[in-house]
Structure 1
Amino acid sequence: MRNMASSGASARGIAAIVGVGPKLGRSIARRFAHEGYTVAILARDLGRLSRFADEIAREEKAQVFAIRIDCSDSKSVKEAFEGVLSLGFVEVLVYNAYKPAMSWNPINFTDVRIDSFEKSLAVSSVGAFHCAQQVLPGMVERGKGTILFTGCSASLNGIAGFSELCCGKFALRALSQCLAREFQPLGVHVAHVVIDGVVGPPSRSICTLAGRGHQRRKGRSWLGNNTAVEVLGIVQDH
């Protein structure tokens, strides 16, 4: 279940990054490794994940663990976090998982398949629910910790032809707000980071940081690495 690449030790806690692909997830993982965290990266494709772990560990001289997870399966989430928690206390959880669209062209609502709709909800919001439940007890016990959920423009606005994506992202935003209000008094910071643009080539976009009942907006040209710096900044601010 777990693969490790290590080039040094860390005195900090674990940064668990769920939903690590070649763009944003990998950039976030690299940034936390650079700052001295032990990093657990989680996704479905363990082979690709292991290559990312080797690369980040070698370049950042950090401890990086690759752990397979299927966020739509509660049993898989539980097993994955047994591996994560065996490494030490989770100081940061970043939930970046979502169900990729078969096509980014709009789909008529009457043509949406129920199994595809349910899968999108399961990955975007139910998976986040399960992951948060795995780490919150330890964070509350220590009186500190940060949980970050990543969203997109579909988290804020319903878009014709994208009901699968929007419903899952709306639910994730609601979950983040509920957790922020419940656990902030206990020392746990929860934030919802909306990246209103495409991660990759530079593009003008807006980042909304919604946590503890407030929002901040920033106009910015986004690259994966720039976004990762912003995400780390939220953790360091709290």
Structure 2
Amino acid sequence: MTGEKFEELYNIMKRLRKECPWDREQTHDSIKGATIEETYELIEAIDEKNYDEMKAELGDLLLHILFHSVMAEEDKHFNINDVIDTIKEKLIRRHPHVFGEVKVNGTDEILKNWEEIKLSEGRESILEGVPKNLPSLARAYRLQEKASKIGFDWSNKEDVWKKVLEEINEMHACEKLNNHKKLEEEIGDVFFALTNYARFLGINPENALRITNEKFIARFNYVESKIKESGKSITQSSLEEMDKYWEESKSKL
């Protein structure tokens, strides 16, 4: 049943490429931004635990997988069966403890084996495979995570916290040097160190910052609504007035 539904959807996509002028005009480059957008919409649905929306967004993302696959098939690069075969073979190859005779003792050993298998596949570095276009905070987290899998890591979180404080002090000292490029580097070091500390606490910093962004929006919207109730616009209010409602919002949101 699932196979039939999948094939039906794939054929719909192929028909759209032939009969719909808009779909026919698209290229990998023209829809790649929408592919990223659909991924973020899925993440938003996951964050909100909105399973109806998650179902819809997974469908949108699947559509993009099929869209790219159909275009590649038209250009004779590969087709959807090649996509499926590639991921199937990768899953089997990278899980020898499930599909082979390898014995492991826990997740840490599985992750270390995973990185060793990737190197055996031709990668030059453990850090390969972390996309350059990832948001920088998420990329820092993944780089640290991958290095950690093969033992390149701090021994305890207190040392990581000391490193955070060290980087903050270096940033503050650099601020007085009137060297913008160096200050930019030092601020980057602070973010990198703080990302590492979050990882030691079991917190994904990208998720944490996304939560804080939403909290800021909710509280600022509260400030705007209160000022609007007073008959003024946000641009007409004073900082003291905005601060009053901001503090009020903290007990409500």
TM-score norm. by structure 2 comes to 0.24
- Pick 1 or 2: higher relative contact order, CA cutoff 8 A, min separation 6: 1
Q: Which structure features the higher share of helix residues?
A: 2
Q: Tell me which structure has the larger Cα radius of gyration.
A: 2
